[in-house]
Amino acid sequence: MPSSHRPRKRFGQNFLIDRSVLYQIADAVAPQLGDNLLEIGPGQGALTAVLLTRIKHLTAVEIDRDLVAYLQRHFTAAQLTLYSEDILRFNLSRIAQDNAAFRIVGNLPYNITTPLLFHLLASHVAIADMHFMLQREVADRLVATPGSEQYGRLGIMVSYHCQVERLFEVPPEAFSPPPKVTSAVVRLVPHRTPPVALHHLKSLEQVVTTAFSQRRKTVRNSLKNLLNETHFSAANIDPGERPERLSLVQFAALANQLNPGEIS
C-alpha cells in the first residue's frame, strides 16, 4: 500500500483492510472467467488484488490520480484497465462489450452513494448485478418496506429497477481510517422486466420525489399540484395516506394517472 498516501476527505476515502471481509466480498461477487467486471474506486487495490486471484482481468475507475499512479505500478495492463475519472461523469457505454453485461463492485464513498446509484441505474448499458459496500443507513433505506421510517424515494426507485439483497455488515475497524459508521454490503440485480407497469418512468420519479419532499403530509396535500381527487380515486389510493405507507405498485398507479396513455 502507498505509505505516503493520506486518505482524502473530499473523495470520502476509507480503505478496506480486513482481509477476511475482502474475501467475503469476493465470495459474494463470485467472479467467473470472462466476466465483464468493473470496480468503482479501487483505492489501494486491496479488493482488486483478491478479485484478480479469481479472474484474469477487470476494469476500474478511480478519481484520485495519486492512487491511479500507484495502481498502475502494482498491476499490469493485462490485469487492470484503469480510468482516472469521476465515476459520476463516466459513460459506461465507452467500455461496454458486445453481449457481455457489466458486473459492478465497489466500496462506495458515502457522500456520493445516492447520486451514483441513480447514475448507474440510468445507464443504457446492460448490468448483470452490482455488489456495493454502503453506509448501513443507506442499506437500510434500500431494503426498507412501506410503513418503516427508512422507507422513501431511494428505496422505491431502486426497487423499480432492481431486486435488492442485504448481505452482511462490516464494522468500522475493518477500514483505515475507521469511519464513524457501520457499513453493509448489498447485492442489486436489475429486473429483466419491470415489477410494475408504467406509462413513463419520469412520472414515477416526479410523483415519488414530490411526495417525499413533504413526507409528513398526506399525499392529498403533498401531491396537490400534480393530482386531484379524481386521480386518487381512479388509482384506488386513499388520499389521506402518508407517502411512507404507499407501495411501489401504488406509486406506479398514481404516476400513471399523471400521464395517462399506453403502458410503455
**pLDDT (tens digit per residue) in 94-131:** 888 777 899 999 998 888 999 999 999 988 889 999 99
Closest residue by Cα to residue 2 from 21, 11, 15: 15
d(CA 208, CA 216): 14
> Which positions of the chain have pLDDT values less than 70?
1-13, 260-264
Confidence (pLDDT) at 110: 82
Q: What is the pLDDT of residue 109?
A: 83
- Domain boundaries for CATH 3.40.50.150 within the chain: 9-190
From the list 253, 207, 204, the residue with the least C-alpha distance to 226 is 207
pLDDT score of 206 = 97
Structural contact between residues 21 and 31, judged by C-beta atoms closer than 8 angstroms: no
Every domain of the chain with CATH number 1.10.8.100 lies at 201-258
Report whether 62 contacts 43 (CB < 8 A).
yes
Cell matching residue 133: 459496500
pLDDT of residue 105: 98
Question: What is the predicted pLDDT for the residue at 17?
Answer: 93
The pLDDT, as a whole number, for residue 94 is 86
27 burial (CB, 10 Å; 0-12 / 13-18 / 19+) is exposed
The CATH homologous superfamily to which domain 201-258 belongs is: rRNA adenine dimethylase, C-terminal domain (1.10.8.100)
For residue 13, the model assigns a pLDDT of 67
Which pLDDT does position 197 carry in this prediction? 94
Fold designation for 9-190: Rossmann fold (3.40.50)
